[in-house]
Amino acid sequence: MLVYKGHYTEKELSYYKGMAEKNGISFELASNEEDIISYINYGTADVSRSDRDSDPITDFEYVGHGHPTGFYIEPLGNGDYKSFNSERFDARAFDVNANIYLYGCGQGLTGSALHDIYPDITISTLIDNMQRLTRGTIVGYSVTLEWGKNLGSFIPYNLGYRNTNDRLRRRPTIPENKRKVTLKGTRQ
């Protein structure tokens, strides 16, 4: 389990560490974007001792703030975040049938779905790009996720993603059957 330290309290970090121990998996703490990418691609932040060849990612879950094109990792103020996308993730780090779960707001929006909401936007989104990493299942949500009272729980909200540049602040209501998006990967 890789956790980005960010602004987590010691209590929250202890919770995640305990969950990792309970499930028999290692717990790693990342301090920046490079740590995250190195861990995904090499299995460690120390790129000189890669073990991804013998330990490919079989299940990838992202839990945190997000947007349709990436992962938010650090608040910058005024509602802005430092973010990155998955373009630097090496497909060889993932098992060919890995399953990917994206639990960040709007991370299930495909480029075509985003274009349907905002016709002036024609981009490849995070979930589109993640398809190249696996032939397995990829799950994301096209809406805002409301985090529950218990760590790790959430409820998909009924309102769709709002583009931060949308001065009209349009947030369409998304039908319940379109809030959760499930795709198959396209990796060869």
Any domain includes 12: no
- Per the structure, how many domains does the chain have? 1
Q: Is 80 exposed, middle or buried (0-12, 13-18, 19+ CB in 10 A)?
A: exposed
pTM score, whole prediction = 0.86
98 close to 134: Cβ distance less than 8 angstroms = yes
Domain residue limits at 63: 58-184
pLDDT tens digits, residue range 121-177? 889 999 999 999 999 999 999 888 877 666 566 778 777 766 666 656 667 788 888
Question: Would you say residue 46 has pLDDT above 90?
Answer: no
Any domain includes 143: yes
Any domain includes 13: no
Q: Is 71 exposed, middle or buried (0-12, 13-18, 19+ CB in 10 A)?
A: buried
DSSP class of residue 88?
A: T
